[in-house]
Amino acid sequence: MQTICEFDRLIPGRGVAALLGDGTQVAVFRLFDDSLFAVANRDPFMHANVISRGLVGDRGGEPVVVSPLLKQAFSLKTGVCLDDESVALEVFAVEVLGGEVRVGVRAEAEASA
């Protein structure tokens, strides 16, 4: 897991992008209820790193982020694209520790837990 910023830096209802050590880009979102989600930042349709700048909300109760380019919705929980289920964003582990937000690859986080 890697620290990316202070929790207070995140605006409720918006996302930020973080650059991991290996060059991976992760989009991290803080929702209005202060829950956190992290998914890959790369839009699988247009291949630009912009997911962090999408709007969040819900579709039928499922928390989603909507790509700012062509507006496909992705589940924040599973990364699956609700408009084309053959496409998904990688989901990352995210947590708050001592007021700081940390993200990491799922498998890694589970192994260390």
Rounded CA separation 95/45 (Å): 28
Show contacts with another protein in window 20-39 (CB under 8 A). Answer: 23, 25, 28, 31-32
Can residue 96 be called a binding residue for another protein (CB under 8 A)? no
Q: Which of 7, 14, 36, 88 binds another protein (CB under 8 A)?
A: 14
Can residue 91 be called a binding residue for another protein (CB under 8 A)? no
Rounded CA separation 3/10 (Å): 13
Q: Which helix (H) or strand (E) holds 53?
A: none
Q: Which residues bind another protein (CB under 8 A)?
A: 2-5, 9, 11-14, 16-19, 23, 25, 28, 31-32, 42, 46, 48-50, 53-61, 63-64, 66, 68-69, 71, 73
